[in-house]
């Protein structure tokens, strides 16, 4: 792949950011008035946090935005030393040009240790005349309260279907690719609101064929078709344990999926089953227990087969009623 499409098609302006209209409107007002508080961007991956920070810097500082915008990733250096040295040294220097202040964008700020966040709190206070901070995180609960109270919090939501389709079609048109209807459904399914993941899946599939359908996308994303997972569950609920085990083998061996990949897809597929709600409750409860055991280090194969066995038992109970 010559170019990474995520970077190639990154929006240059706030108004071009997909699926975050309310946030874009608020940030645009900051850019117009040039009155910017410290900001905290919180939300799932691939929803536009970094894109909004860069686009905001471009609107604030124009062509020379790189001179007054400094990006750091807290997951690389997460201790107190990075706050006392890199961040503090950059924050204390005067801005270049007529911007009035500089911007430090601290990505994955929830990776900072508690001591580092405490030091950052004081730095944010002391150098507020020359520097503004934009903190980005997946979980705002991991940011200490003193920092949250010093920032304007923006909560990013997963990208909804309509803006995601529009953006992906724009990329496909620019790259002279054709996304079929079932291909778009597969993109939406695999992305789960993560536009970056959707774009990367689209690019990988585009290297295989110009006509991007569901087959190409499921291979690119390395996930099972939802109908295959649903068939696995229906087979087990019909009481056919060995048949369900064969379908599980196909997912694990032929598709090369990990146990955690399968358990996540099982969880999503339960809600598409045509069974009473009280039985769905029993199944979801068991899926949660199985997923916990797998995360703690249990054997994936044994846990998944035990889960299918539980589904068989539930299926037999439903038949009795």
Range 49-77 average pLDDT: 85
d(CA 141, CA 110): 8
Range 55-63 average pLDDT: 89
d(CA 211, CA 221): 16
All structural domains of the chain, each given as residue ranges with its CATH number in brackets, are 5-155 (3.40.50.300), 161-221 (1.10.8.60), 226-320 (1.20.272.10)
- 3-state secondary structure string, 275-311? CCHHHHHHHHHHHHHHHHHHHCCCCHHHHHHHHHHHH
Query: Which backbone phi and psi does 320 adopt, to 5 degrees?
Result: -65, -30
Parallel, antiparallel, or unpaired: how do β-strands 39-42 and 69-73 relate? unpaired
d(CA 102, CA 100): 7
31-52, pLDDT tens digit by residue? 888 888 999 999 999 999 999 9
Q: Is the pLDDT of residue 288 over 90?
A: yes
Mean model confidence pLDDT for the chain = 88
Closest CA relative to residue 191, chosen from 4, 1, 6: 6
Higher local confidence (pLDDT), 215 or 152? 152
Range 276-286 average pLDDT: 92
Q: Is the pLDDT of residue 235 over 90?
A: yes
What is the pTM (predicted TM-score) of this model?
0.83
Closest CA relative to residue 135, chosen from 126, 124, 127, 125: 124
């Amino acid at each position: 792949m010559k170019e990474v499409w995520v970077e190639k098609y990154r929006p240059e302006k706030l108004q071009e950011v997909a699926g975050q209209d309310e946030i874009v409107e608020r940030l645009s007002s900051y850019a117009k008035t040039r009155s910017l508080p410290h900001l905290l961007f919180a939300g799932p991956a691939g929803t536009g946090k970094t894109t909004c920070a860069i686009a905001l810097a471009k609107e604030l500082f124009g062509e020379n935005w790189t001179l007054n915008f400094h990006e750091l990733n807290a997951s690389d250096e997460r201790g107190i030393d990075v706050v006392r040295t890199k961040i503090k040294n950059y924050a204390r220097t005067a801005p270049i040009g007529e911007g009035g202040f500089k911007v430090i964008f601290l990505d994955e700020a929830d990776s900072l240790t508690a001591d580092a966040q405490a030091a950052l709190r004081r730095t944010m206070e002391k150098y507020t005349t020359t520097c503004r901070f934009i903190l980005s995180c997946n979980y705002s609960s991991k940011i200490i309260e003193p920092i949250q109270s010093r920032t304007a919090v923006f909560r990013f939501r997963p990208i909804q279907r309509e803006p995601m389709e529009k953006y992906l079609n724009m990329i496909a048109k620019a790259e002279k690719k054709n996304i079929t209807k079932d291909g778009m459904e597969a993109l939406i399914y695999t992305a789960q609101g993560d536009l970056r993941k959707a774009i990367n899946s689209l690019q990988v599939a585009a290297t295989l064929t110009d006509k991007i359908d569901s087959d190409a996308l499921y291979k690119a994303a390395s996930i099972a078709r939802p109908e295959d997972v649903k068939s696995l569950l229906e087979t087990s609920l019909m009481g056919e344990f060995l048949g369900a085990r064969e379908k599980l083998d196909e997912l694990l061996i032929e598709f090369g999926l990990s146990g955690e990949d399968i358990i996540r897809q099982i969880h999503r597929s339960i809600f598409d089953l045509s069974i009473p709600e009280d039985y769905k409750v029993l199944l979801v409860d068991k899926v949660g227990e199985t997923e916990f055991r797998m995360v703690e280090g249990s054997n994936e194969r044994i846990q998944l087969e035990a889960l299918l066995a539980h589904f068989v038992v539930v299926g037999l109970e439903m038949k009795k009623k």
